[in-house]
Structure 1
Amino acid sequence: MLKRYSIRAFCGAMALCLLPDLSFADAKSPPKSWIDPDTGHRVIRVTDEPGSASLYFNIHAYTPDGKQMIYTTADRGIGVINLSTFTAKPLVKGPVGGGPGAVVVGHKTATVYYFKGLKGDSHYGSLWAANIETGEQRKIADLPRRAGIFSINADETLGAGSYIVGDGEDYNGRQAGQVAPHPTAEEPLDKKTKMSRRLAARLPMVIFTVDLHTGQIKPVFASTDWIDHLQFSPTDPTLLMYAHQGEWQQVEKLWTIRTDGSENKHIDPRIMKMEGSGHQWWDHDGKNIWYDLHIPLGMISFVASYNVENGDRTWFHYAPEESSIHFNRSVDGSLFAGDGSDAPGARWLYLFHPELVKDDRSLGEHLIQPGKFRAERLVNMSKHNYHLEPNVNFTPDGKYVIFRSNMFGPTYVFAVEVSK
């Protein structure tokens, strides 16, 4: 992911600031809940197992009834959280996974779909499903070489994934089923270097679907661009979003395509030099794709949307001190959340109240609807190390924002109440 600020010295100074009056010295027994004295919001530690974590911000983690949430366990397995009691239990023993999107919950049934690598050969793996209610597990399909599954469609008939053709080295180490290369003392592969090398490699890739009933694999689209972050629409089973990966200003980022390979469309054409966009997600109703937009990078920032039905666009401006690695939107659309960042003054979890700018008879057609965020701080994150991304998302009922944090040393899953 693109980092827009590099201020480790500032972060070190911020880490000296005190969080709430908690017993941080005892890392073995962090508090179960507290009221953040800087924000007035109650924070709950949801998991007890050090090393447990919530999913990436745009991966569907909730059962269709909104009562349970999937998380990953310390042994790289899968667990289930009851959202009414915030109690957690294991579901699938680890290790599972192998890449982003390797664990995702269906929109139609209480089923979690996950990737399992083949022991002894990281080039091969398979797609599995587990019933969240009964724990029953079943294998769906063996996947192509160097493949991973990223998303499940709305009616749970198809999974979508990608694979690299041949033996070209994946410098970024992100392709599911692949082992990331180890940096050497002579040539350490930092994140920016890995991304630049991976983009320049022009490795041939294929987007494919897998039939969840028959296991049939079907190619959808082939490219030598670096393709990643496949996300099915939560309501349209044939519509898939994907991203061109790389540094944001260097790629034509966001695209949609049909599962039959038709209607391949670039949805965020650049209008300015050094413009960058990314960290995209679908609205709950499948009408809008939201993403982080900078024109140019590091100067003016928006959370922007594209309506897949009519092409309408909305841009909500946010201040530099409210910069977040990821944003998300509540199911009812009334609120946004941000997970903060290393930017000066931005080490907070944020609640954003969107406000549209009133139109006073503007001239022109198909204009962007402007707006701004009114920010409210949710959690003081001065003790959090942002090498770990908090990945905020709202619970389906809108009462909590879920995130992961290492503020006590090990990583745990947390929930913060939206209302004070």
Structure 2
Amino acid sequence: MGDELRQGPNAGRTLPPERERFTDPETGAQVTRLTSDPGADSRHLYFTEPGWYDDGRQLLVRSDRDGTQQLYSIALESGGITQLTDLPAEIGGVTRVATEPTALFWCDDRLVVLDLESLEVTPLYERPDGYTGSIAAGTADGARAVVALSEVLDIEGRSDDREQWIADRMDAGPHSKVISVPLSGDEPTVHVEEDRWLNHVNASPTRPELVTYCEEGTWEDVDRIRALNLETDETWLVRRTDEDEAVGHEYWLADGETIGYHGWRGSRDDPDPFFGHVRYDGTERREWPAPDIYTHFHSNTRDLAVGDGTYRGAPFDLLWEWDDGADEYRMPRKLASHGWSGDGDVHPHSRLSPDGNYVVFDSSRGGTGSDVYVVEIPDDLGDLPTFDGRES
């Protein structure tokens, strides 16, 4: 699998805490900025990926503080930072294997396993020439990595308009596969193979045979959210996109059987936004109003949902609390200001901690680049200000 992959001398080095604590002036919530290196861009894992390990005491973050993006951990109690990788190329597409002290990521064209205790790196799979790879997903039993591979086309980088590039790539129908690779090192299995752009594989945290993947493209024009049974290779649509609808940014809730997402009805210029939950087999679908189409949502359970807000009038994390008596969500509450100012700015990618006590998000509010923040959720959400619509 090419040259041997070795860690450099900085793997395992420790850095002093960079954290700063403050009270959010908009909401009164207690916020901790975990990273503050002025020359670095630091981010937590993508919102679909579980970045906590060591019983929730450590949080994985990506940072380019040495000129190339590598993986670090932050001890949440002390704020101390440990560099976990010092590899010859940038790492990307990071996830954590839920049952093991293990992370998965791409380093150049190799899918790599990292032991989070010994910091040993093991190349697992080499991507074929002419293909890109999605964020990795680790199955719930820790046995397999699952990724989507998609053909590189000559349209890459042709358009500065991101939405136009997405539409062009979707229309071109690149050859794609969804594969699983045993962490034992055995041969990979191809589960799905199509001439459509496939991407974003997410693994159920409790059902090792279940993953979602997406038909990538402009959300209005694809049936995006799809499920795959790795044991039978059966695939199916989870939430069909009806006419004048768009859905995406799908993720698993902690039960491993419910999938969250958001979307809108109508047009991008005049949308009726919503977020929703649906069982993996397409049943038990419920949807509720959202503030805008440009956002992400995350939930561990139905009891509490966090949303990014939006750069169009709600630059703060929002919390929705479930009301059992009314069988609906209460009016959302502002949790923390992140100052998201536009699609080109750092996206918060907000995610609830596994215990539901705080939210992690990214923000450029502290200066250049991105930093990682956590904000505590008060015991009584009534202490937070309500949000009843877009603000100027």
TM-score band, normalised by shorter chain: 0.7 to 0.9
Match of 1:18 in 2: none
Superimposed CA distance per residue, residues 111-160 of structure 1 (whole angstroms, 9 cap, x where no aligned partner): 1111111xxxxxxx112122212322222233333242521111111111
8 Å CA contact 2:310–2:340 kept in 1: the answer is no
User: More relative contact order in 1 or in 2 (CA 8 Å, sep 6+)?
Assistant: 1
Aligned with residue 314 of structure 2, among 340, 346, 352: 346
Match of 1:411 in 2: 370
Q: Aligned with 2:61: secondary structure?
A: strand
Q: Aligned with 1:92: secondary structure?
A: coil
Match of 1:103 in 2: 94
Deviation at 1:357, TM superposition (A): 7.6
Q: Distance in 1 between matches of 2:194 and 2:115?
A: 35
Deviation at 1:86, TM superposition (A): 3.0
Match of 2:154 in 1: 169
Aligned with residue 292 of structure 1, among 262, 268, 272: 262
CA gap of 1:372–1:300, structure 2 versus 1, over 3 A, is farther
Q: Aligned with 1:59: secondary structure?
A: coil
Q: Distance in 2 between matches of 1:406 and 1:295?
A: 31
Deviation at 1:288, TM superposition (A): 0.2
Deviation at 1:61, TM superposition (A): 1.2
Aligned with residue 87 of structure 1, among 80, 96, 102: 80
1:316 correspondence with 2:309: no
8 Å CA contact 2:311–2:342 kept in 1: the answer is no
Q: Distance in 2 between matches of 1:206 and 1:170?
A: 19
Deviation at 1:389, TM superposition (A): 0.9
1:377 correspondence with 2:340: no
**Letter aligned with residue 198 of structure 1:** R
Q: Distance in 1 between matches of 2:266 and 2:325?
A: 22
- More displaced stretch, 393-402 vs 373-382: 373-382
Match of 1:16 in 2: none
Superimposed CA distance per residue, residues 180-223 of structure 1 (whole angstroms, 9 cap, x where no aligned partner): x3x5xxxx421011111101111111111111102412111111
CA gap of 1:288–1:79, structure 2 versus 1, over 3 A, is same
Q: Distance in 2 between matches of 1:274 and 1:69?
A: 39
The sequence identity of aligned pairs, in percent, is 22
Q: Distance in 2 between matches of 1:36 and 1:233?
A: 34
Q: Aligned with 2:201: secondary structure?
A: strand
Q: Aligned with 2:53: secondary structure?
A: coil
Match of 1:62 in 2: 52
Q: Aligned with 1:194: secondary structure?
A: helix
CA gap of 1:261–1:143, structure 2 versus 1, over 3 A, is farther
8 Å CA contact 1:108–1:155 kept in 2: the answer is yes
Q: Distance in 2 between matches of 1:313 and 1:97?
A: 40
Match of 2:106 in 1: 115
Superimposed CA distance per residue, residues 289-315 of structure 1 (whole angstroms, 9 cap, x where no aligned partner): 010031234532221111126821122
**Letter aligned with residue 339 of structure 1:** D
Deviation at 1:83, TM superposition (A): 2.3
Q: Distance in 2 between matches of 1:346 and 1:242?
A: 30
CA gap of 1:394–1:403, structure 2 versus 1, over 3 A, is same
Superimposed CA distance per residue, residues 212-254 of structure 1 (whole angstroms, 9 cap, x where no aligned partner): 1024121111111211111111111111101111111111111
Q: Distance in 1 between matches of 2:138 and 2:75?
A: 22
1:395 correspondence with 2:363: no
- More displaced stretch, 285-294 vs 57-66: 57-66
Deviation at 1:375, TM superposition (A): 1.0
Match of 2:144 in 1: 158
1:337 correspondence with 2:327: no
8 Å CA contact 1:46–1:87 kept in 2: the answer is no
Residues 276-291 of structure 1: pairs in structure 2 closer than 5 A: 276-291=246-261
8 Å CA contact 2:238–2:282 kept in 1: the answer is no
8 Å CA contact 1:385–1:406 kept in 2: the answer is no
Q: Structure 2: state its 5+ residue gaps.
A: 1-17, 384-392
8 Å CA contact 1:228–1:242 kept in 2: the answer is yes
Q: Distance in 2 between matches of 1:114 and 1:95?
A: 14
TM-score by length of 2: 0.83
CA gap of 1:324–1:356, structure 2 versus 1, over 3 A, is farther
**Letter aligned with residue 120 of structure 2:** E
CA gap of 1:193–1:268, structure 2 versus 1, over 3 A, is same
Deviation at 1:385, TM superposition (A): 5.1
- List, as ranges, runs of 4+ consecutive aligned residues in structure 1 with deviation greater than 4 Å: 94-99, 356-359, 383-386
Deviation at 1:87, TM superposition (A): 2.6
8 Å CA contact 2:95–2:138 kept in 1: the answer is yes
8 Å CA contact 1:317–1:373 kept in 2: the answer is no
Q: Aligned with 2:48: secondary structure?
A: coil
Superimposed CA distance per residue, residues 66-93 of structure 1 (whole angstroms, 9 cap, x where no aligned partner): 2221110112100011122333221012
CA gap of 1:170–1:103, structure 2 versus 1, over 3 A, is farther
- More displaced stretch, 279-288 vs 373-382: 373-382
Q: Aligned with 1:374: secondary structure?
A: coil
CA gap of 1:194–1:218, structure 2 versus 1, over 3 A, is same
RMSD (Å) for aligned C-alpha atoms: 2.5
State the number of aligned residues.
Answer: 352
Deviation at 1:338, TM superposition (A): 1.2
**Letter aligned with residue 375 of structure 1:** P
Q: Distance in 2 between matches of 1:71 and 1:383?
A: 19
Aligned with residue 196 of structure 1, among 167, 173, 191: 167
